[in-house]
């Protein structure tokens, strides 16, 4: 293949590719704030004009034809620096702040365009002649006006590259990569096209680097599109579709017969419609995907904020609980000492009030301890000290502590072990005592008098587990309540009916609890606190049991039909 075909192909690609990629970029975002897409399209048109003019110049059969294409070629040559400067300032976001610079470049371009037009009427100002050079039949020779164009390029290239280089140093992330692509493409374009000027000044070097000039707009387009979430594969598909439609459209004019003309028109229209629908659907999918990705990112940010707030809440609960525990313990201690007569004897009324104070402080201390346990669980700071214990003795010890509470509530509390084999389990006694107390106290609390609570230990020899079963004849639970009961801070909807009967009388339409006798005041406060206390006991129980490699289950036939809680633990070896 003759070398001339290399130049013809290079200039052909230089005429087609810049225009197509410029059009694709322009259509991506017509309302771009920084005018990047529009300025790049103008730059691409100037590049295509130069390549197209050069292509027909070297293919011209006559001097006059070659001269016309030379004029067209130089229109692109002259406007290219101004459009390039506009694009650089736009991509840097400085096209408005440096508007005077931009105005200067366009002014110079207009002056040189005027010289090019004047050349038509007064030959020799811009180009002295067209003559054979190297392998080309027609190639321009520079006149004195052409030096103005060279100076224009000399001013444009270093200045624009310096601006890009400074921005690359300051930028971060995707913007840095984008500007690096543009910087490299600019060097390729200026070197590729610049060598073509040499024969114009009788430096007879074949401008084989013009192939780079054909490629540089594609690289810039890639930088613009890729780093704005558009796939380069999609760009290539669009280019292929545009080329196909262009080929089919031009093929219409080569039709020799009427049937060929109709066929070519039909095929061209069909392909155009089909490809338009295809591209539109692809863009719709991209927009939907980007919308989903945007929503996902928003959800990730929201979730991160929620996690942060959750951590802050846990930290607050932990700090507040620590701060509350000390004064409450002091109150409880002094109340106990007063009840024991350490500070002298009490009247019956004072003793009753002090007993209520002691019970309330004891209940609040237990609540604070629960809150501390929750914060330790959430922060992963719960430490278990396992010991092998006799589970029967352990449970009986807990029941002994709550026996008085059951008697006061008129609840029959009983214990049964189904097997004579010593039930050994490996547990943290302090933590698991908290679990068993929660379960048994809840059973007592939500069982109206007279009622019963049965506690039993069962052996599962097949699964090698030991079960603690707590059954009551209390208010029962709905399936929804069973699901919600293990959640953190689920409010207790059912509270001690016995406490209501002892003095808590709510009057509809009022903001406070009324008609509470003086001696029942402590009980009323206790009942209200119970109603509004976060139900964290079973949540804690579940977490501790699972940390012991066990499980907890709740069964109830419905409201008013009692509840059964089953705890499973692996048997100790």
Examine the domain organization and report whether 164 and 276 are in the same domain: no
Q: Where among 382, 414, 434 does a domain terminate?
A: 382
Question: Token pair 């707030």 is at which residue?
Answer: 309
User: Which CATH number belongs to the domain containing residue 196 in this structure?
Assistant: 1.20.1070.10
**pLDDT tens sequence across 178-235:** 888 888 888 888 988 889 999 999 999 988 888 888 888 877 877 776 655 445 556 5
Strand segments (E) across 283-341: none
Asked, for residue 252, whether it belongs to a domain, the answer is no
Flag whether 563 is in a domain: yes
171 and 73 within one domain: yes
CB 153 within 8 A of CB 123: no
- Cis, peptide link before residue 315, omega less than 30° from 0: no
DSSP 502: T
Cα(98)–Cα(381) distance, integer angstroms: 59
CATH of the domain at 413: 3.30.565.10
**Inside any domain, residue 499:** no
- Asked if 270 and 287 sit in the same domain, the reply is yes
Check residue 511 and give its pLDDT: 37
- Domain of 437 in residue numbering reads as 385-492+533-570
Confirm if 119 and 71 have CB atoms less than 8 A apart: yes
Query: Does 466 fall in a domain?
Result: yes
d(CA 387, CA 353): 41
Assess whether 107 and 222 both reside in one domain. yes
Quickly state the pLDDT bin for 501 (edges 50, 70, 90): very low
Assess if residue 524 is contained within a domain.
no
What are 275-301's pLDDT values in tens digits?
888 877 877 777 787 788 888 888 988
Which residue matches tokens 């002014």? 107
Q: How many other C-beta atoms can be found within 10 angstroms of the C-beta atom of residue 340?
A: 8
Residues 447 and 367 in one domain: no
Q: b/e map of 282-309 (b: 16 or more CB within 10 Å)? A: eeeeeeeeeeeeeeeeeeeeeeeeeeee
217 and 294 belong to one structural domain: no
- Per the domain annotation, does 508 fall within a domain? no
Weakest mean pLDDT among 223-232, 479-488, 562-571 = 223-232
Distance CA 400, CA 410 (A): 16
pLDDT for the residue numbered 321: 62
Instruction: Tell which wins on pLDDT, 557 or 499.
Output: 557
Residues 8 and 117 in one domain: yes
Residue whose C-alpha is closest to residue 537's, from 411, 399, 434: 434
331: left (phi over 0), alpha (psi -120 to 50) or beta: alpha
Residues with Cβ within 8 Å of 397's Cβ and at least 6 positions away in sequence, in order, are 433
Q: Say yes or no: 336 and 270 in one domain.
A: yes
Cβ–Cβ < 8 Å for 563, 554: yes
Q: How many domains does the chain have?
A: 3
* Boundary-marking domain end, from 327, 353, 382: 382
- For residue 460, what are the β-bridge partners? 465
Is residue 278 in a domain?
yes
Q: Are residues 232 and 286 in the same domain?
A: no
The pLDDT confidence band at residue 236, using thresholds 50, 70 and 90, is: low
Asked if residue 200 and residue 164 are part of one domain, the reply reads: yes
pLDDT tens digits, one per residue of 350-359: 888 888 887 7
What is the DSSP code (8-state) at residue 513?
A: -
Q: Give residue 364's pLDDT.
A: 78
How far apart are the C-alpha atoms of 417 and 432, rounded to whole Å? 19
> Which residues on adjacent β-strands are paired with residue 427?
387
Domain boundary at 247, 280, 305, which? 247
Q: State CA 553 to chain mean position distance.
A: 38
Q: What is the pLDDT of residues 337-372, one digit of tens each?
A: 887 878 778 788 888 888 888 778 777 777 777 777
Residue at 81 is within a domain: yes
What are the tens digits of pLDDT across the range 53-104?
999 999 999 999 999 999 999 999 999 999 999 999 988 888 888 889 999 9
Burial (CB count within 10 angstroms: exposed 0-12, middle 13-18, buried 19+), residue 205 = exposed
Using CA atoms, how far apart are residues 160 and 220, in angstroms rounded to an integer?
A: 15
Distance CA 502, CA 328 (A): 26
CB 49 within 8 A of CB 73: yes
At 503 the pLDDT is 37
Question: Is 136 within 8 Å of 58 (Cβ atoms)?
Answer: yes
316 and 285 belong to one structural domain: yes
Q: Do 480 and 403 belong to one domain?
A: yes
């Amino acid at each position: 293949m003759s070398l001339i075909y290399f130049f013809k192909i290079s200039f052909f690609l230089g005429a087609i590719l810049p225009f197509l990629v410029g059009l694709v970029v322009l259509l991506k975002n017509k309302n771009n704030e920084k005018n990047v897409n529009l300025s790049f399209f103008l730059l691409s048109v100037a590049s295509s004009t130069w390549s197209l003019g050069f292509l027909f110049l070297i293919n011209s059969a006559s001097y006059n034809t070659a001269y016309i294409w030379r004029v067209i070629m130089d229109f692109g040559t002259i406007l290219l620096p101004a459009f390039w400067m506009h694009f650089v300032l736009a991509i840097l976001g400085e096209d408005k702040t440096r508007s005077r610079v931009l105005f200067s470049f366009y002014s110079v371009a207009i002056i040189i365009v005027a010289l090019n037009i004047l050349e038509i009427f007064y030959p020799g100002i811009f180009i002295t002649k067209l003559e054979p050079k190297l392998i080309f039949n027609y190639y321009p020779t520079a006149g004195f006006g052409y030096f103005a164009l060279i100076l224009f390029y000399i001013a444009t290239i270093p200045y624009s590259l310096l601006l890009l280089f400074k921005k690359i140093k300051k930028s971060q992330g995707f913007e840095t990569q984008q500007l690096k692509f543009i910087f490299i493409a600019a060097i390729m374009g200026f070197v590729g096209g610049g060598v073509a000027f040499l024969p114009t000044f009788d430096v007879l070097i074949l401008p084989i680097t013009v192939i780079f000039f054909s490629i540089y707009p594609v690289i810039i387009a890639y930088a613009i599109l890729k780093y704005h979430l558009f796939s380069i594969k999609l760009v290539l598909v669009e280019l292929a579709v545009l080329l196909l439609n262009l080929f089919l459209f031009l093929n219409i004019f080569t039709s020799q017969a009427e049937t060929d003309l109709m066929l070519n028109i039909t095929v061209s229209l069909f392909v155009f419609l089909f490809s338009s629908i295809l591209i539109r659907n692809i863009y719709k999918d991209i927009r939907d995907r980007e919308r989903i990705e945007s929503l996902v990112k928003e959800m990730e940010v929201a979730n991160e904020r929620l996690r942060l707030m959750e951590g802050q809440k846990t930290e607050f609960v932990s700090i507040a609980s620590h701060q509350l525990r000390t004064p409450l313990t002091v109150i409880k201690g002094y109340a106990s000492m007063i009840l024991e007569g350490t500070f002298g004897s009490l009247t019956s009324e004072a003793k009753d009030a002090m007993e209520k104070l002691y019970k309330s402080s004891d209940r609040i201390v237990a609540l604070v301890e629960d809150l501390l346990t929750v914060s330790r669980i959430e922060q992963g700071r719960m430490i278990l000290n396992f010991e092998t214990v006799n589970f029967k003795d352990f449970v009986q010890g807990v029941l002994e502590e709550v026996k008085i509470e059951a008697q006061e509530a008129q609840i029959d509390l009983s214990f049964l072990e189904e097997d004579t084999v010593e039930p050994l389990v490996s547990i943290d006694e302090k933590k698991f005592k908290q679990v068993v107390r929660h379960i048994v106290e809840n059973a007592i609390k939500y069982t109206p008098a007279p009622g019963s609570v049965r506690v039993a230990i069962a052996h599962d020899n097949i699964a090698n587990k030991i079960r603690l079963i707590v059954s009551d004849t209390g208010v029962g639970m709905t399936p929804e309540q069973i699901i919600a009961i293990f959640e953190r801070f689920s409010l207790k909807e059912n509270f001690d009916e016995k406490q209501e009967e002892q003095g808590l009388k709510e009057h509809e339409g009022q903001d406070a609890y009324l008609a509470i006798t003086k001696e029942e005041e402590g009980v009323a406060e206790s009942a209200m606190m119970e109603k509004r206390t976060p139900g964290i006991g079973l949540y804690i129980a579940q977490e501790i049991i699972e940390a012991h490699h066990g499980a907890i289950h709740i069964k109830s036939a419905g409201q008013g039909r009692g509840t059964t809680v089953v705890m499973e633990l692996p048997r100790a070896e």
